[in-house]
């Protein structure tokens, strides 16, 4: 299936051009109560979007580029999703997660794509589904396309550092507010022509609590950490692993761990980071420790020759086998690799700091209550 933000060729639209979608607009600043009563977020409105063209098809919806008629025809990304209907209508959990994303948007974090609107579409009675249209700010391209367009020999080290810092900044904000993205990959990271990085595609995002049961079918294979591959409990460290894989890919211009299946993925990981000892192998994994050869691991500068020594050290800490020992986003941003960024952060983060002087960390702003 094509990632959400990659342009599709020769695809048929399920909505014809010049179609207008009426919208039930959400409040600009949703009260915390809307998390408990998510249906409060629908407000009658005459706003509509039209002139839609297909951007791409993803596993969790179809994305169109559309014009916002209420805002001088500015472009937006309109994502059509199908929500299953139960006996009581739209499942509360589905709408609650959308409400959470809307509340995150109200903080206007520079590195998280903004959810501008939510439109309730028609009910598909025969399929017991309802269409929802999530309206996001339109960003020029995803990181995968950005890398493909970059001429040889690729991105410079300072540009890679800038992109990674912004990515960590957005993730730190999500994690501080107990949100796991769970599907980080270059296709789900947007980057504007001005170089601003934004986390996008929250189809697998989840509010994390200590007693929640999380599915193991998350994260695209090449960016999936060992604890998810082995169906173990996981938390925010899953996103840090994926971010580390992306950091390496920015230098290499190809994936760090391109496995063909889950077993091969683990083998490729162990070959680089080293195999865990038999005593560290989880007891409740269907694959025995003896399934894999024992690897000592290799220096990261052998795998990513262009990276500096500080970058190699950070990468090692981000793709650490043990999620408990894996570095956090907040700690990664303070790593010596980003030494220059403490005094001179990327411009989008600097602007936010200046506009939010009462909040010393641009990466976090406010904590959701």
Active site residues: 183
Closest CA to 160 of 185, 125, 197: 197
Q: How many CB atoms lie under 10 A from the CB of residue 285?
A: 13
Distance CA 38, CA 137 (A): 22
Instruction: Give burial (CB, 10 Å; 0-12/13-18/19+) of 230.
Output: middle
Q: Please say whether the beta carbons of 263 and 286 come within 8 A.
A: no
* Maximal C-alpha separation, the chain: 63
Return the ∠ at Cα 123 (arms to 119 and 129), rounded to 5°.
100
Instruction: Give burial (CB, 10 Å; 0-12/13-18/19+) of 261.
Output: exposed
Closest CA to 238 of 191, 185, 284: 185
Distance CA 43, CA 119 (A): 10
Kindly write down the DSSP assignment for every residue of 81-124, as one continuous string: EEEE-BTTBS-HHHHHHHHHHHHHHTT--TTB--EEEEEEEEEE
Distance CA 212, CA 195 (A): 36
């Amino acid at each position: 299936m094509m990632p959400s933000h990659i342009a599709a060729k020769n695809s048929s639209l399920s909505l014809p051009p010049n179609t207008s979608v009426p919208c039930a607009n959400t409040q600009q600043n949703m009260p915390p109560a809307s998390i408990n009563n998510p249906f409060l977020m629908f407000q009658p409105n005459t706003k509509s979007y039209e002139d839609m063209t297909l951007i791409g098809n993803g596993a969790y919806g179809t994305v169109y580029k559309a014009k916002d008629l209420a805002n001088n025809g500015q472009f937006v990304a309109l994502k059509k999703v199908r929500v299953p209907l139960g006996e009581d209508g739209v499942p509360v959990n589905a709408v609650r997660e959308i409400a959470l994303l809307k509340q995150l948007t109200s903080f206007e974090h520079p590195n998280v794509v903004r959810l501008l609107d939510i439109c309730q579409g028609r009910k598909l009675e025969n399929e017991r589904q309802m269409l929802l249209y999530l309206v996001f700010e339109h960003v020029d391209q995803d990181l995968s396309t950005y890398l493909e367009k970059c001429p040889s020999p690729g991105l410079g080290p300072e540009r890679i550092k800038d992109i990674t810092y912004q990515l960590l900044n957005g993730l730190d904000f999500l994690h501080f507010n107990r949100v796991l993205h769970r599907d980080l990959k270059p296709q789900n990271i947007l980057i504007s022509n001005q170089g601003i990085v934004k986390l996008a595609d929250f189809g697998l995002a989840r509010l994390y609590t200590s007693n929640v049961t999380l599915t193991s079918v998350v994260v695209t294979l090449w960016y999936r950490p060992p604890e998810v591959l082995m169906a173990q409990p996981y938390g925010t460290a899953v996103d840090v692993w994926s971010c580390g894989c992306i950091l390496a890919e920015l230098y290499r211009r190809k994936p760090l761990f391109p496995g063909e299946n889950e077993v091969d993925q683990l083998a490729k990981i162990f070959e680089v980071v080293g195999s865990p000892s038999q005593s560290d192998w989880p007891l409740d994994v269907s694959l025995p420790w003896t399934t894999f050869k024992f690897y000592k691991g290799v220096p990261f500068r052998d795998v990513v020759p262009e990276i500096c020594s500080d970058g190699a050290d950070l990468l090692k800490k981000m793709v650490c086998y043990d999620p408990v020992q894996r570095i956090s986003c907040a700690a990664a941003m303070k790593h010596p690799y980003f030494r220059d960024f403490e005094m001179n952060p990327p411009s989008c983060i600097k602007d936010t700091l200046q506009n939010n002087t009462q909040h010393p960390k641009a990466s976090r702003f406010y904590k959701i209550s």
